[in-house]
């Protein structure tokens, strides 16, 4: 007879890596994974129809890795969801292909997760190859604007959302959340997941003892023209679906009053002068770095074309809501203070 109260000492972790023409990075990433101390893992590689020799390299050198080869580039959200459907782990560990992990990074994540089963999502401390901080978690302000923190915490701390470069998610929570939003394609899908996790009453934390080195921005460089569009329309989508109505409407109006005219001014500066004197800060990371009024209009058009999707997601998010926006503000999960 099985005792269902027995704690699993070494839960299986499904490491999921999405790849697109990333052989050079995969070599370092997979080599570092082969050297970790935690052995109860399976690795699933989802390939977005790479044209380099990524798959040949993996098949020749890591025959135990499970490969999902896709017929085209599906971005980030859908490939991860596809891998999660076949994964057998109690946890999913979403890992970018341009990372280099440290031997105890999984052990440190699991130690925290197993100590509090209300924690659904955990992020490693992400460092750049030179040792400087890449990210210690993302935070969301009261207008739904997302910014990256680079402060190194001295202990585990709550964050608004975890970065998908190295993110451990409890399988049961991932399923309850419905996985990543596949309409996002790429950009902010990890933020949306974390935000919705808080809404459902889960916790999201960063674990500073779990260290992963992250080159950053390598895959997205190849689809740079699409990143700005997806980034902006995804931020608009989150404001519509993750705030309660009429709060969502007020937030959208405030957002455009605060940032819309600023972005138009930047666009005119570039068109007329070829540069702008307006500088962005970490907290004003609202639109992709290449200012383009066309991106704003294209994003608004996308929103106007997809009301049924937005309404359906809004209803689902709010039908499951445990914590209201005001609760999240009190907890400083949504906060205008730089974290």
Hey, where are the domains in the chain? 13-221, 223-321
Task: Annotate 220-260 with DSSP letters as a single string.
Answer: GGGGHHHHHHHHHHHHHHHHHHHSPTTHHHHHHHHHIIIII
Cα four-point dihedral sign 257, 260, 264, 266:
positive
Phi-psi bin for 185: left (phi > 0), alpha (psi -120 to 50), beta? left
Question: Beta strands 146-148 and 41-47: pairing type?
Answer: unpaired
Tally Cβ neighbours within 10 Å of residue 158: 17
pLDDT confidence of residue 262: 63
pLDDT confidence of residue 40: 97
Burial of 63 (0-12, 13-18, 19+ CB in 10 A): exposed
pLDDT confidence of residue 229: 87
pLDDT confidence of residue 266: 61
pLDDT confidence of residue 255: 86
pLDDT confidence of residue 339: 74
pLDDT confidence of residue 268: 62
Between the alpha carbon of residue 268 and those of residues 95, 274, 333, the distances in Å are 39, 9, 35
pLDDT confidence of residue 258: 75
CATH of range 13-221; options 3.90.550.10, 3.30.9.10, 3.40.50.1400, 3.40.190.10: 3.90.550.10
Is the whole-model pTM more than 0.75?
yes
Residues of the chain with pLDDT under 50: 1-6, 222, 279-291
pLDDT confidence of residue 277: 57
CA 333 from centroid of its chain's CA atoms: 16
pLDDT confidence of residue 67: 98
pLDDT confidence of residue 260: 65
């Amino acid at each position: 007879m099985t005792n269902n109260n027995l704690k699993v000492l070494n839960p299986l972790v499904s490491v999921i890596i999405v790849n697109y023409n990333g052989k050079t990075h995969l070599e370092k990433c997979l080599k570092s994974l082969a050297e970790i101390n935690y052995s109860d893992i399976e690795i699933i590689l989802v390939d977005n129809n790479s044209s380099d020799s990524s798959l040949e390299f993996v098949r020749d050198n890591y025959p135990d890795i499970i490969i999902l080869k896709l017929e085209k580039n599906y971005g980030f959200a859908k490939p991860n969801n596809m891998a999660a459907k076949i994964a057998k782990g109690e946890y999913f560990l979403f890992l970018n292909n341009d990372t280099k992990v440290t031997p105890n990074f999984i052990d440190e994540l699991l130690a925290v997760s197993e100590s509090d089963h209300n924690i659904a999502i955990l992020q490693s401390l992400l460092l750049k190859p030179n040792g400087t901080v890449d990210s210690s978690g993302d935070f969301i302000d009261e207008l739904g604007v997302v910014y990256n923190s680079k402060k190194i915490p001295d202990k585990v701390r709550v964050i608004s959302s975890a970065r998908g470069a190295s993110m451990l998610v409890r399988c049961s929570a991932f399923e309850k959340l419905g996985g990543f939003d596949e309409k996002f394609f790429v950009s902010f899908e990890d933020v949306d997941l974390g935000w919705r996790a808080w809404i459902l009453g889960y916790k999201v934390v960063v674990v500073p003892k779990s260290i992963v080195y992250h080159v950053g921005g390598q895959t997205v460089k190849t689809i740079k023209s699409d990143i700005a569009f997806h980034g902006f329309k995804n931020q608009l989508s989150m404001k519509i679906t993750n705030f309660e109505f009429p709060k969502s409407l007020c937030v959208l109006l405030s957002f455009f009053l605060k940032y819309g005219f600023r972005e138009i001014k930047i666009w005119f500066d570039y068109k007329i002068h070829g540069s702008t004197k307006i500088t962005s800060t970490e907290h004003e990371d609202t639109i992709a770095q290449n200012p383009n009024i066309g991106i704003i209009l294209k994003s608004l058009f996308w929103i106007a074309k997809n009301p049924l999707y937005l309404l359906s997601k809004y209803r689902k998010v709010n039908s499951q809501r445990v914590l209201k926006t005001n609760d999240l503000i009190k907890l400083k999960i949504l906060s205008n203070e730089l974290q």
